[in-house]
Protein backbone atom coordinates (compact mmCIF):
# COMPACT_ATOMS: atom_id res chain seq x y z
CA UNK A 1 0.00 0.00 0.00
CA UNK A 2 1.35 3.45 -0.88
CA UNK A 3 1.23 6.75 0.99
CA UNK A 4 -1.67 8.09 -1.06
CA UNK A 5 -3.72 5.07 -0.03
CA UNK A 6 -2.90 5.69 3.64
CA UNK A 7 -3.87 9.35 3.37
CA UNK A 8 -7.13 8.51 1.62
CA UNK A 9 -7.97 5.77 4.09
CA UNK A 10 -7.28 7.91 7.12
CA UNK A 11 -9.28 10.79 5.67
CA UNK A 12 -12.27 8.51 5.31
CA UNK A 13 -11.84 7.24 8.84
CA UNK A 14 -11.78 10.81 10.14
CA UNK A 15 -14.89 11.69 8.17
CA UNK A 16 -16.76 8.64 9.41
CA UNK A 17 -15.93 9.36 13.06
CA UNK A 18 -18.28 11.78 14.80
CA UNK A 19 -18.13 13.31 18.26
CA UNK A 20 -19.70 10.19 19.68
CA UNK A 21 -17.21 7.98 17.92
CA UNK A 22 -18.88 4.67 18.44
CA UNK A 23 -22.60 5.16 17.98
CA UNK A 24 -24.58 1.99 17.33
CA UNK A 25 -24.29 0.43 13.88
CA UNK A 26 -26.23 2.54 11.39
CA UNK A 27 -28.25 1.23 8.48
CA UNK A 28 -26.54 2.66 5.42
CA UNK A 29 -26.45 1.72 1.76
CA UNK A 30 -23.02 3.25 1.20
CA UNK A 31 -20.69 0.59 -0.11
CA UNK A 32 -17.01 0.17 0.48
CA UNK A 33 -16.36 1.10 -3.16
CA UNK A 34 -18.34 4.33 -2.77
CA UNK A 35 -16.30 5.21 0.27
CA UNK A 36 -13.10 4.63 -1.66
CA UNK A 37 -11.88 1.85 0.63
CA UNK A 38 -10.87 -1.10 -1.47
CA UNK A 39 -9.06 -3.23 1.15
CA UNK A 40 -7.55 -5.09 -1.79
CA UNK A 41 -10.98 -5.68 -3.27
CA UNK A 42 -9.55 -7.76 -6.11
CA UNK A 43 -8.25 -10.28 -3.58
CA UNK A 44 -11.55 -10.30 -1.69
CA UNK A 45 -13.45 -11.03 -4.88
CA UNK A 46 -10.97 -13.71 -5.96
CA UNK A 47 -11.25 -15.40 -2.57
CA UNK A 48 -15.04 -15.31 -2.69
CA UNK A 49 -14.98 -16.70 -6.23
CA UNK A 50 -12.92 -19.64 -4.98
CA UNK A 51 -15.64 -20.39 -2.41
CA UNK A 52 -18.59 -20.36 -4.83
CA UNK A 53 -18.22 -24.07 -5.48
CA UNK A 54 -17.80 -24.92 -1.80
CA UNK A 55 -20.69 -26.94 -0.41
CA UNK A 56 -21.82 -26.27 3.16
CA UNK A 57 -20.12 -28.34 5.88
CA UNK A 58 -22.40 -28.19 8.94
CA UNK A 59 -21.50 -29.90 12.20
CA UNK A 60 -23.63 -32.92 11.28
CA UNK A 61 -20.96 -33.75 8.70
CA UNK A 62 -18.75 -35.22 11.43
CA UNK A 63 -19.33 -37.02 14.71
CA UNK A 64 -17.15 -38.16 17.60
CA UNK A 65 -17.79 -41.26 19.69
CA UNK A 66 -16.51 -39.44 22.78
CA UNK A 67 -19.31 -36.85 22.62
CA UNK A 68 -22.13 -37.20 25.13
CA UNK A 69 -24.44 -35.29 22.79
CA UNK A 70 -26.25 -36.02 19.55
CA UNK A 71 -25.47 -35.24 15.93
CA UNK A 72 -26.86 -31.70 16.22
CA UNK A 73 -24.75 -30.87 19.27
CA UNK A 74 -21.48 -29.02 18.83
CA UNK A 75 -18.60 -30.97 20.36
CA UNK A 76 -14.98 -30.05 21.04
CA UNK A 77 -12.22 -31.06 23.43
CA UNK A 78 -9.98 -28.99 25.69
CA UNK A 79 -6.93 -27.76 23.82
CA UNK A 80 -4.24 -28.33 26.39
CA UNK A 81 -5.33 -31.72 27.75
CA UNK A 82 -3.27 -34.82 26.98
CA UNK A 83 -3.13 -38.51 27.88
CA UNK A 84 -1.33 -39.15 31.15
CA UNK A 85 1.88 -41.10 30.37
CA UNK A 86 1.56 -42.81 33.75
CA UNK A 87 -2.09 -43.76 33.12
CA UNK A 88 -2.70 -43.79 29.33
CA UNK A 89 -6.32 -44.95 29.62
CA UNK A 90 -7.15 -42.64 32.53
CA UNK A 91 -8.23 -39.00 32.73
CA UNK A 92 -6.29 -36.49 30.68
CA UNK A 93 -3.77 -34.09 32.27
CA UNK A 94 -3.13 -30.42 31.38
CA UNK A 95 -0.13 -28.98 29.52
CA UNK A 96 -0.68 -25.22 29.19
CA UNK A 97 -0.01 -23.77 25.77
CA UNK A 98 0.50 -27.17 24.11
CA UNK A 99 -2.39 -28.17 21.87
CA UNK A 100 -3.11 -31.91 21.68
CA UNK A 101 -3.19 -32.77 17.95
CA UNK A 102 -5.34 -35.84 18.59
CA UNK A 103 -8.32 -33.83 19.84
CA UNK A 104 -11.60 -33.88 17.91
CA UNK A 105 -11.64 -30.58 16.03
CA UNK A 106 -14.06 -31.20 13.15
CA UNK A 107 -16.86 -29.07 14.61
CA UNK A 108 -14.47 -26.25 15.35
CA UNK A 109 -13.21 -26.43 11.79
CA UNK A 110 -16.78 -26.35 10.48
CA UNK A 111 -17.47 -23.20 12.48
CA UNK A 112 -14.23 -21.52 11.42
CA UNK A 113 -14.95 -22.41 7.81
CA UNK A 114 -18.47 -21.03 8.11
CA UNK A 115 -16.94 -17.78 9.33
CA UNK A 116 -14.31 -17.75 6.58
CA UNK A 117 -16.69 -18.56 3.74
CA UNK A 118 -19.64 -16.40 4.77
CA UNK A 119 -17.48 -13.38 5.64
CA UNK A 120 -15.63 -13.54 2.32
CA UNK A 121 -18.79 -14.06 0.29
CA UNK A 122 -20.67 -11.22 1.95
CA UNK A 123 -17.63 -8.95 1.65
CA UNK A 124 -17.60 -9.64 -2.10
CA UNK A 125 -21.35 -9.00 -2.25
CA UNK A 126 -20.84 -5.72 -0.40
CA UNK A 127 -18.16 -4.66 -2.88
CA UNK A 128 -19.78 -5.82 -6.12
CA UNK A 129 -23.51 -5.98 -5.43
CA UNK A 130 -23.52 -9.34 -7.21
CA UNK A 131 -26.17 -11.51 -5.57
CA UNK A 132 -24.42 -14.76 -6.46
CA UNK A 133 -22.18 -14.18 -3.44
CA UNK A 134 -25.10 -13.46 -1.13
CA UNK A 135 -26.97 -16.51 -2.40
CA UNK A 136 -24.07 -18.82 -1.67
CA UNK A 137 -23.53 -17.30 1.77
CA UNK A 138 -27.18 -17.99 2.52
CA UNK A 139 -26.73 -21.65 1.56
CA UNK A 140 -24.10 -21.97 4.29
CA UNK A 141 -26.24 -20.12 6.83
CA UNK A 142 -29.26 -22.27 6.04
CA UNK A 143 -27.31 -25.52 6.49
CA UNK A 144 -25.69 -24.45 9.74
CA UNK A 145 -28.64 -22.83 11.50
CA UNK A 146 -31.98 -23.49 9.77
CA UNK A 147 -32.21 -26.85 7.96
CA UNK A 148 -33.70 -29.36 10.44
CA UNK A 149 -31.52 -32.12 9.03
CA UNK A 150 -28.21 -30.33 9.54
CA UNK A 151 -28.67 -27.43 11.98
CA UNK A 152 -26.64 -26.98 15.14
CA UNK A 153 -28.55 -26.80 18.41
CA UNK A 154 -28.25 -23.30 19.94
CA UNK A 155 -26.18 -24.29 22.97
CA UNK A 156 -22.70 -25.51 23.86
CA UNK A 157 -23.39 -28.28 26.32
CA UNK A 158 -20.58 -30.48 25.00
CA UNK A 159 -17.80 -28.05 24.16
CA UNK A 160 -14.23 -28.42 25.45
CA UNK A 161 -14.87 -31.77 27.05
CA UNK A 162 -12.00 -33.52 28.82
CA UNK A 163 -11.69 -37.27 28.60
CA UNK A 164 -12.27 -38.86 31.98
CA UNK A 165 -13.25 -35.57 33.61
CA UNK A 166 -16.18 -33.64 32.07
CA UNK A 167 -18.55 -33.95 29.11
CA UNK A 168 -18.54 -30.18 28.57
CA UNK A 169 -17.43 -26.95 30.18
CA UNK A 170 -18.35 -23.30 30.29
CA UNK A 171 -15.03 -22.30 28.74
CA UNK A 172 -16.16 -24.11 25.61
CA UNK A 173 -18.21 -21.03 24.80
CA UNK A 174 -15.06 -19.44 23.45
CA UNK A 175 -15.39 -21.84 20.51
CA UNK A 176 -18.30 -19.77 19.13
CA UNK A 177 -16.31 -16.55 18.78
CA UNK A 178 -16.30 -17.45 15.09
CA UNK A 179 -20.01 -16.69 14.96
CA UNK A 180 -19.41 -13.01 15.73
CA UNK A 181 -18.53 -12.04 12.18
CA UNK A 182 -21.21 -14.37 10.87
CA UNK A 183 -23.79 -12.19 12.62
CA UNK A 184 -22.17 -9.11 11.09
CA UNK A 185 -22.55 -10.70 7.65
CA UNK A 186 -26.18 -11.58 8.36
CA UNK A 187 -26.81 -8.00 9.42
CA UNK A 188 -25.37 -6.66 6.17
CA UNK A 189 -27.44 -9.08 4.06
CA UNK A 190 -30.53 -7.86 5.92
CA UNK A 191 -29.61 -4.19 5.60
CA UNK A 192 -29.14 -4.57 1.87
CA UNK A 193 -32.58 -6.15 1.59
CA UNK A 194 -31.32 -9.50 0.36
CA UNK A 195 -32.05 -11.48 3.51
CA UNK A 196 -35.58 -11.11 4.84
CA UNK A 197 -38.72 -12.96 5.78
CA UNK A 198 -38.63 -16.44 7.27
CA UNK A 199 -34.88 -17.06 6.81
CA UNK A 200 -33.97 -13.82 8.58
CA UNK A 201 -36.49 -14.50 11.34
CA UNK A 202 -35.10 -18.01 11.78
CA UNK A 203 -31.51 -16.79 12.04
CA UNK A 204 -32.46 -14.13 14.56
CA UNK A 205 -34.36 -16.69 16.60
CA UNK A 206 -31.35 -19.02 16.61
CA UNK A 207 -28.97 -16.35 17.84
CA UNK A 208 -31.48 -15.02 20.37
CA UNK A 209 -31.85 -18.54 21.77
CA UNK A 210 -28.10 -19.03 21.93
CA UNK A 211 -27.50 -15.65 23.58
CA UNK A 212 -30.19 -16.40 26.15
CA UNK A 213 -28.57 -19.77 26.85
CA UNK A 214 -25.20 -18.08 27.28
CA UNK A 215 -26.65 -15.67 29.82
CA UNK A 216 -28.71 -18.18 31.80
CA UNK A 217 -27.16 -21.66 31.72
CA UNK A 218 -24.55 -22.45 34.40
CA UNK A 219 -21.95 -23.04 31.68
CA UNK A 220 -22.61 -19.61 30.23
CA UNK A 221 -22.50 -17.93 33.61
CA UNK A 222 -19.28 -19.76 34.44
CA UNK A 223 -17.70 -18.39 31.27
CA UNK A 224 -19.06 -14.91 31.94
CA UNK A 225 -17.12 -14.82 35.21
CA UNK A 226 -14.22 -17.06 34.21
CA UNK A 227 -11.79 -14.15 33.93
CA UNK A 228 -9.05 -13.40 31.37
CA UNK A 229 -9.80 -13.50 27.63
CA UNK A 230 -12.62 -16.01 28.08
CA UNK A 231 -14.85 -13.47 29.80
CA UNK A 232 -13.86 -10.75 27.35
CA UNK A 233 -14.92 -12.85 24.40
CA UNK A 234 -18.09 -13.98 26.21
CA UNK A 235 -19.11 -10.33 26.40
CA UNK A 236 -18.08 -9.69 22.79
CA UNK A 237 -20.29 -12.55 21.66
CA UNK A 238 -23.24 -11.34 23.71
CA UNK A 239 -22.82 -7.89 22.16
CA UNK A 240 -22.72 -9.33 18.63
CA UNK A 241 -25.73 -11.57 19.08
CA UNK A 242 -27.66 -8.78 20.81
CA UNK A 243 -26.84 -6.44 17.92
CA UNK A 244 -28.32 -8.83 15.38
CA UNK A 245 -31.41 -9.71 17.38
CA UNK A 246 -32.23 -6.29 18.80
CA UNK A 247 -31.76 -7.43 22.39
CA UNK A 248 -30.99 -4.13 24.10
CA UNK A 249 -31.15 -5.87 27.47
CA UNK A 250 -28.22 -8.08 26.49
CA UNK A 251 -26.31 -5.13 25.06
CA UNK A 252 -26.63 -3.61 28.51
CA UNK A 253 -25.22 -6.82 29.98
CA UNK A 254 -22.27 -6.56 27.58
CA UNK A 255 -21.56 -2.94 28.60
CA UNK A 256 -21.77 -3.79 32.27
CA UNK A 257 -19.44 -6.73 31.73
CA UNK A 258 -16.93 -4.57 29.88
CA UNK A 259 -16.63 -2.21 32.83
CA UNK A 260 -16.33 -5.06 35.30
CA UNK A 261 -13.68 -6.84 33.24
CA UNK A 262 -11.61 -3.74 32.53
CA UNK A 263 -11.34 -3.06 36.26
CA UNK A 264 -10.40 -6.66 37.00
CA UNK A 265 -8.07 -7.40 34.08
CA UNK A 266 -6.00 -4.32 33.29
CA UNK A 267 -3.02 -3.29 35.39
CA UNK A 268 -1.96 0.37 35.87
CA UNK A 269 0.60 0.02 33.07
CA UNK A 270 -2.05 -1.21 30.59
CA UNK A 271 -0.98 -4.85 30.60
CA UNK A 272 -3.25 -7.82 31.27
CA UNK A 273 -1.47 -9.75 34.06
CA UNK A 274 -3.55 -12.91 33.56
CA UNK A 275 -2.50 -13.04 29.91
CA UNK A 276 1.11 -12.05 30.59
CA UNK A 277 1.52 -15.02 32.92
CA UNK A 278 0.61 -17.56 30.24
CA UNK A 279 3.05 -19.54 28.12
CA UNK A 280 1.84 -17.51 25.12
CA UNK A 281 1.63 -13.99 26.59
CA UNK A 282 2.10 -12.15 23.30
CA UNK A 283 -0.69 -14.01 21.55
CA UNK A 284 -3.07 -13.93 24.49
CA UNK A 285 -2.61 -10.22 25.06
CA UNK A 286 -3.38 -9.48 21.42
CA UNK A 287 -6.27 -11.93 21.51
CA UNK A 288 -7.75 -10.21 24.54
CA UNK A 289 -7.35 -6.78 22.93
CA UNK A 290 -9.15 -8.02 19.82
CA UNK A 291 -12.06 -9.12 21.98
CA UNK A 292 -12.19 -5.76 23.69
CA UNK A 293 -12.20 -3.97 20.33
CA UNK A 294 -15.17 -6.02 19.11
CA UNK A 295 -16.94 -5.43 22.41
CA UNK A 296 -16.36 -1.66 22.30
CA UNK A 297 -17.48 -1.49 18.68
CA UNK A 298 -20.73 -3.38 19.18
CA UNK A 299 -21.84 -2.41 22.69
CA UNK A 300 -21.00 1.31 22.79
CA UNK A 301 -23.74 3.92 22.59
CA UNK A 302 -23.53 7.70 22.07
CA UNK A 303 -23.91 8.17 25.82
CA UNK A 304 -21.77 5.24 26.90
CA UNK A 305 -18.67 5.06 24.72
CA UNK A 306 -16.71 2.08 25.96
CA UNK A 307 -13.58 3.08 24.04
CA UNK A 308 -13.24 6.08 26.35
CA UNK A 309 -14.69 4.63 29.55
CA UNK A 310 -12.31 5.19 32.46
CA UNK A 311 -11.88 2.30 34.85
CA UNK A 312 -9.77 2.43 38.00
CA UNK A 313 -6.58 1.98 35.94
CA UNK A 314 -7.65 3.98 32.92
CA UNK A 315 -9.40 3.29 29.62
CA UNK A 316 -8.85 0.42 27.21
CA UNK A 317 -6.72 2.89 25.25
CA UNK A 318 -4.00 2.30 27.84
CA UNK A 319 -3.94 -1.40 26.94
CA UNK A 320 -3.52 -0.55 23.26
CA UNK A 321 -0.76 1.91 24.12
CA UNK A 322 0.98 -0.81 26.13
CA UNK A 323 1.04 -3.21 23.19
CA UNK A 324 1.54 -0.87 20.23
CA UNK A 325 5.35 -0.73 20.55
CA UNK A 326 5.48 -4.53 20.57
CA UNK A 327 3.09 -4.78 17.63
CA UNK A 328 5.24 -2.33 15.72
CA UNK A 329 8.51 -4.06 16.70
CA UNK A 330 8.11 -7.50 18.21
CA UNK A 331 11.85 -7.73 18.93
CA UNK A 332 11.30 -5.35 21.85
CA UNK A 333 8.80 -7.71 23.54
CA UNK A 334 9.49 -7.83 27.27
CA UNK A 335 8.63 -11.49 27.85
CA UNK A 336 10.05 -14.74 26.55
CA UNK A 337 8.72 -15.75 23.11
CA UNK A 338 5.45 -17.66 23.12
CA UNK A 339 5.92 -21.41 23.20
CA UNK A 340 4.06 -21.76 19.89
CA UNK A 341 3.31 -19.60 16.81
CA UNK A 342 5.30 -16.59 18.02
CA UNK A 343 6.82 -16.14 14.56
CA UNK A 344 3.35 -15.87 12.98
CA UNK A 345 2.33 -12.76 14.91
CA UNK A 346 1.36 -9.97 14.81
CA UNK A 347 -1.10 -9.93 11.93
CA UNK A 348 -3.26 -7.15 10.53
CA UNK A 349 -6.46 -7.40 12.57
CA UNK A 350 -9.81 -5.66 12.37
CA UNK A 351 -9.57 -4.83 16.07
CA UNK A 352 -6.54 -2.59 15.59
CA UNK A 353 -8.26 -0.81 12.69
CA UNK A 354 -11.36 -0.20 14.81
CA UNK A 355 -9.18 1.20 17.58
CA UNK A 356 -7.36 3.51 15.14
CA UNK A 357 -10.69 4.85 13.96
CA UNK A 358 -12.13 5.21 17.43
CA UNK A 359 -9.16 7.24 18.61
CA UNK A 360 -8.49 9.14 15.35
CA UNK A 361 -4.93 7.88 15.70
CA UNK A 362 -2.69 8.10 12.64
CA UNK A 363 0.10 6.12 14.31
CA UNK A 364 -2.19 3.20 15.08
CA UNK A 365 -3.50 3.29 11.54
CA UNK A 366 0.01 3.33 10.09
CA UNK A 367 0.98 0.32 12.20
CA UNK A 368 -2.17 -1.48 11.07
CA UNK A 369 -1.38 -0.69 7.45
CA UNK A 370 2.11 -2.17 7.52
CA UNK A 371 1.03 -5.48 9.07
CA UNK A 372 0.47 -8.60 7.01
CA UNK A 373 -3.08 -10.03 7.16
CA UNK A 374 -1.87 -13.54 6.24
CA UNK A 375 -2.86 -16.27 8.68
CA UNK A 376 -0.08 -18.81 8.52
CA UNK A 377 -1.69 -21.59 10.57
CA UNK A 378 -5.02 -22.85 11.82
CA UNK A 379 -3.96 -21.74 15.30
CA UNK A 380 -3.92 -18.12 14.14
CA UNK A 381 -7.23 -18.65 12.35
CA UNK A 382 -8.66 -19.99 15.58
CA UNK A 383 -7.50 -17.07 17.70
CA UNK A 384 -8.46 -14.21 15.40
CA UNK A 385 -12.09 -14.69 14.35
CA UNK A 386 -12.80 -11.25 12.88
CA UNK A 387 -11.50 -11.63 9.36
CA UNK A 388 -13.03 -9.03 7.03
CA UNK A 389 -12.58 -5.34 8.01
CA UNK A 390 -14.64 -4.45 4.95
CA UNK A 391 -17.75 -5.71 6.71
CA UNK A 392 -17.12 -3.67 9.82
CA UNK A 393 -16.27 -0.38 8.16
CA UNK A 394 -19.01 -0.64 5.54
CA UNK A 395 -21.82 -0.67 8.11
CA UNK A 396 -20.75 2.45 10.00
Question: In terms of Cα–Cα distance, which of 351, 240, 198 is closest to 287?
Answer: 351
Distance CA 274, CA 257 (A): 17
Rounded-to-integer distance, Cα 294 and Cα 12, Å: 20
Taking only the tens of pLDDT, the chain with its 396 residues reads 444 433 344 443 433 333 333 333 333 333 333 334 457 889 999 999 999 999 999 999 999 999 999 999 999 999 889 999 999 989 999 998 788 999 999 999 999 999 999 999 999 999 999 999 999 999 999 999 999 999 999 999 999 999 999 999 999 999 999 999 999 999 999 999 999 999 999 999 999 999 999 999 999 999 999 999 999 999 999 999 999 999 999 999 999 999 999 999 999 999 999 999 999 999 999 999 999 999 999 999 999 999 999 999 999 999 999 999 999 999 999 999 999 999 999 999 999 999 998 998 989 998 998 999 999 999 999 999 999 999 998 533
| Domain residue ranges in the chain | 3-394
Give 283's Cβ-side CA count (13 Å radius).
19
- Per-residue model confidence (pLDDT) at position 96: 82
| Superfamily the domain 3-394 falls into | Chondroitin AC/alginate lyase (1.50.10.100)
Question: Does the bond joining 149 to the residue before it have cis omega, within 30 degrees of 0?
Answer: no
Residue among 123, 141, 180 at smallest CA distance from 297: 180
User: What does the alpha-carbon distance between residue 280 and residue 90 come to, in Å, rounded to a whole number?
Assistant: 28
Report the pLDDT value the prediction gives residue 16, as an integer from 0 to 100: 37
Q: What is the torsional sign of CA 292, 396, 112, 374?
A: negative
Amino acid sequence: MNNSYLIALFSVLLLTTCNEKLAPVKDTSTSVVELGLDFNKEQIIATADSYLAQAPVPITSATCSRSAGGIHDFYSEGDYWWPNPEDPEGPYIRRDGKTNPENFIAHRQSMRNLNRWVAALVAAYEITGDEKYAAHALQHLNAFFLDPATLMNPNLLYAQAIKGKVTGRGIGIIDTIHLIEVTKAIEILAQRGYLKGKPLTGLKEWFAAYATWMNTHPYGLDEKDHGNNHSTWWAAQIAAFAQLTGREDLKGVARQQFKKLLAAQMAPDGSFPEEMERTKPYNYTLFNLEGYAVLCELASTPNDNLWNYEGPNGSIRKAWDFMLPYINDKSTWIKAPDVQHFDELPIQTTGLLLAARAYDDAEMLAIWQQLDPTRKSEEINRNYPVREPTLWVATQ
